[in-house]
Amino acid sequence: MIGWIKSKFNDIRFRNKLLLSHLVIALIPILLLGLLSFIQSYRIQMKELRSEAEASLEQVASIMDYKINRYNTLSEFMVLNRDLSQIFTKDYGENYYDMYLDFRDILEPLISNIRLMDDDIEGITFYTSGELLGIRNNILPIGDLKSKPWYDGFRGRRWIVDGKKLYLVQELISNPKDSNFMVISIQHDRIFADLDNLSEHVAVHIEDVKQQVIFRKNHERAAMTRGTEDGETSDLSLSRSLANNGWTIHYNLLNTNAYANALGIFRITLFVIILSLIITFLLIYVISNNFTQRIIHIKNKVDKVERNNLDVMIRSSSRDEFGELTNGIGKMLKRINSLISQVYHAEIAKKESEYNKLISQINPHFLYNTLSFIRWRAEKKADIETSYMVSALARFYRTTLNQGRHIATIEAEVQHIKAYLDLQLIMNDGRFDVDYHIHDEVLHTEIIHFILQPIVENAIKHGFVEANGTHYHIHIAVCRVGEVIKLTVRDNGVGMTSGQTTRLLTGENGGCGVRNVNDRIKLYYGPDYGLVIHSEPGTGTEVSIVLPAS
């Protein structure tokens, strides 16, 4: 199957191959980018929605806790009021005048003050089994309380929600034969007012200590959004318990808003993707057509040469690789015509020599142009890291070739090592750092080319070998000391023993880069100059390159 596909692909014309391959290469990252943007947008929307809901839940719970605690405090204030407790435990007998005085001077002022302190209190009712029944409208028999559907015989204090009614039921201090309760009626909407301001994308319900739902909001929208009978949903749930009455607030975050926002972003992204594909197709078509037209032109000329028409003129005014190739073929054809009378093998050998020479002239220019084109493509695709690596690689090869000269300034040598280290930092994921200390007075001094890179490469390759070691560091310094120039490379790697240092300079350890640098310096400048190595195991290595200042 693969062979058949490969065979069919090879039969396609070159322009169509170029167009198809570029479209596939462009289509995959664009589609992945669109999908990634949708997923990432959805996640960000849900994260923001959850963060807002958590803050809202915390705020609502704190406010409700504060309100409930305030009423609990008022309730405790009344329960612990000795004068009030005595009214319900006192044996009045037939002394109605004392009862009247207690009601006038203690109970009624206390209730009035409490209601003045809080406008949300609708009323205060007392339920008793004692002899106070019928004295006031707000003192009712305990049987009326026990007949309430929400009363289950509890003692102490309990918050009750009965439809749109909200009660705080508090047991009073009683004598052994009586049972007394105080019921504070509170405005329902004031306690739950903060929940009315919630977003429509948040469904909330509150459960009491028996896990019975006493309040709901936005659950109809949640049910419509889910659209499933089993109640399963991808909503996010949050809960917060109230410390002062045991209620629990539950938030359900509906993902419809986040999905809608993400879908809107995806539609925009999809439009950009389609537009990008159209523009990409047009650009690829124009570029591929330009390439193939020039290739077809060269092919037609070569076909004529193949038919023994050696008088064909092959020439191009372009300066790119196609122009160089065309002119190279034209020049080669001229040489063939001028050497046609020579011996066949001598002619072939000479042509191969000239061709190799031509290729050696073309290769650097071709390499720079190719790297420049790759960097342009990376920048077009917003691939900053690849663009930076290609740029650093181009600078590295340009400074390495040095236009064929073996002499360079210290400034050029430093630029060369910087380009090399830029590549190494990316390849090693920044597991070491570099600092430079270069004196300006030596920047224009000329030295032999390519002496720093083997030293730095050796430090990275053999010095930074411990995967769990400390963060590595390279220090490069260049300065003039008397009549010599000193180039120093210092690292904090694993270091070397004295035997390893000796073998490094002699090349006995298998590597020859450092040894070649030392040998070149001694051959060019004399035996007084070269490399000086100081190293200790576990501490690091310092390599000094000593050169004459003049």
| pLDDT tens digits for range 524-543 | 888 899 999 999 988 899 99
Q: Answer yes or no: is pLDDT of 488 > 90.
A: yes
pLDDT band of residue 132 (cuts 50, 70, 90) is low
- What lies within 8 Å, CB to CB, of 130 at 6+ separation is 88, 174, 175, 178, 180
* Most trustworthy range by pLDDT among 54-58, 171-175, 230-234, 392-396: 54-58
Q: Is the model more confident about 114 or about 167?
A: 167
Considering only 17-26, 99-108, 130-139, 264-273, which range has the smallest mean pLDDT? Answer: 130-139
Q: What is the pLDDT of residue 479?
A: 94
* Most trustworthy range by pLDDT among 37-41, 203-207, 231-235, 329-333: 203-207
Q: Report the C-alpha gap between 499 and 504 in whole angstroms.
A: 9
* Mean pLDDT calculated for residue range 92-106: 75
Q: Is the model more confident about 379 or about 473?
A: 473
- What lies within 8 Å, CB to CB, of 395 at 6+ separation is 415, 416, 419, 422
Q: Report the C-alpha gap between 303 and 549 in whole angstroms.
A: 61
Q: What is the pLDDT of residue 505?
A: 83
* Mean pLDDT calculated for residue range 495-513: 79
CB 549 within 8 A of CB 484: yes
Which of 310, 61, 70 shows the shortest CA–CA distance to 198? 61
Q: Where are the alpha helices (DSSP H) in 381-405?
A: 384-401
**Long-range own/partner contacts, residues 372-376 (CB < 8 A, 24 or more apart):** none
Q: What is the pLDDT of residue 541?
A: 93
Q: What is the pLDDT of residue 199?
A: 67
Q: What are the structure tokens assigned to 301, written together?
A: 């000329």
Q: What is the pLDDT of residue 475?
A: 94
* Mean pLDDT calculated for residue range 200-213: 81
Q: What is the pLDDT of residue 397?
A: 67
pLDDT band of residue 178 (cuts 50, 70, 90) is low
DSSP conformational letter for 135:
S
Q: Report the C-alpha gap between 407 and 447 in whole angstroms.
A: 6
Q: What is the pLDDT of residue 176?
A: 62
Q: What are the structure tokens assigned to 503, written together?
A: 């073998």
Considering only 10-14, 287-291, 363-367, which range has the smallest mean pLDDT? Answer: 363-367
Q: What is the pLDDT of residue 485?
A: 94
Q: What is the pTM of this model?
A: 0.41
Q: Is the model more confident about 224 or about 20?
A: 20
Instruction: Quote the mean pLDDT of the chain.
Output: 77
State in Å, rounded, how far the first CA of the chain is from the last one. Answer: 70
* Mean pLDDT calculated for residue range 472-486: 93
Considering only 98-112, 118-132, 381-395, which range has the smallest mean pLDDT? Answer: 381-395
φ, ψ dihedrals at 61, nearest 5°? -65, -40
Q: What is the pLDDT of residue 175?
A: 62
Residue with tokens 């790297």: 371
Which of 357, 511, 380, 270 shows the shortest CA–CA distance to 22? 380
* Mean pLDDT calculated for residue range 200-222: 77
Q: Answer yes or no: is pLDDT of 355 > 60.
A: no
* Most trustworthy range by pLDDT among 68-77, 130-139, 217-226, 297-306: 68-77
Q: Report the C-alpha gap between 72 and 309 in whole angstroms.
A: 110
* Mean pLDDT calculated for residue range 76-100: 76
Q: Answer yes or no: is pLDDT of 68 > 70.
A: yes
Q: Where are the alpha helices (DSSP H) in 402-512?
A: 410-427, 453-458, 498-506
Q: Answer yes or no: is pLDDT of 147 > 60.
A: yes
* Mean pLDDT calculated for residue range 265-291: 78
Q: What is the pLDDT of residue 226?
A: 46
Torsion sign across C-alpha atoms 188, 191, 193, 198: negative
Q: What is the pLDDT of residue 359?
A: 38
* Most trustworthy range by pLDDT among 141-155, 259-273, 307-321: 141-155
